[in-house]
Amino acid sequence: MQLRRVFQGLALGIFILLMILGKQQLWFLFFLVGVLGAFWWGRFYCAWLCPINTSIEIVDKIYQKLGIKRREVPKWAKNSWVRYFMLILFIATVVVMITTGQKIPVLLILVILGVFLSLFYLPAFWHRYLCPYGTILSFTGNRARKNYFIQTEKCIKCNKCAGVCPADAVIVKDIKEYPAIDKGVCLLCAECALTCPTNAIIYGKQRR
């Protein structure tokens, strides 16, 4: 967990430096590594590198200390067309940047938007349903060779993992069934594993 904080701090510092230098387009190289790496390790980009998630986590820590509660994810946001609309809008903006040469601070805008929404809504509103980067990463992350998964022989079905997941990646269909982690949505933040009272959640290659 401490190592992840170090990577988050370094990545955030690099991001801020690129913004100051007007070289934000270079950040796409980090994102590309995250997209390709997700085939093997899952969405490590989200929890270890993404400046949006790092900023949202700062808000989370402050709110937890102050005991501030936020609104649930709106029902309309859970429609699949919302995610794809955000993705199309993002791709269209990138195309405009390439064809016109305009330097639109896309990532900075997304950071501001993500943090702003996290002030009022639970993080899953952004992470799972709105973030275009997350939608792209879900495609490769869903095919990850390694991911967090629940060992059913140790699970006591307390569902604490679902309560702490910032991306609604822990699926609980029925309280009588074992929860499952959607690896295409999982941010690899390890909050579920740290919360599990029986250490039933581990990272690795799941045997079928």
Q: How far apart are CA 132 and CA 54, in angstroms?
A: 16
Q: Are 86 and 130 in contact (CB under 8 A)?
A: yes
Q: What is the CA radius of gyration of the chain?
A: 17
Per residue in 24-56, pLDDT tens?
889 999 999 999 999 999 999 999 999 999 999
pLDDT band at 208 (very low <50, low <70, confident <90, very high): low
**How many Å from the N-terminal Cα to the C-terminal Cα in the chain?**
28
Please count the other Cβ atoms lying within 10 Å of the Cβ belonging to residue 154: 13
* Cα distances (angstroms) measured from residue 198 to each of 8, 98, 157, 169, 172: 28, 50, 10, 19, 18
Place of tokens 């941010």: 187
Provide the whole-model pTM: 0.91
The two structure tokens encoding residue 75: 């029902």
pLDDT of 74 strictly over 70? yes
Q: Average pLDDT in the 121-144 region?
A: 96
pLDDT of 111 strictly over 70? yes
Q: Are 139 and 83 in contact (CB under 8 A)?
A: no
Q: Average pLDDT in the 155-163 region?
A: 95
The 10 Å CB-count burial string (b at 16+, else e) for 22-46 is eebeebeebbeebbebbeebbbbbb
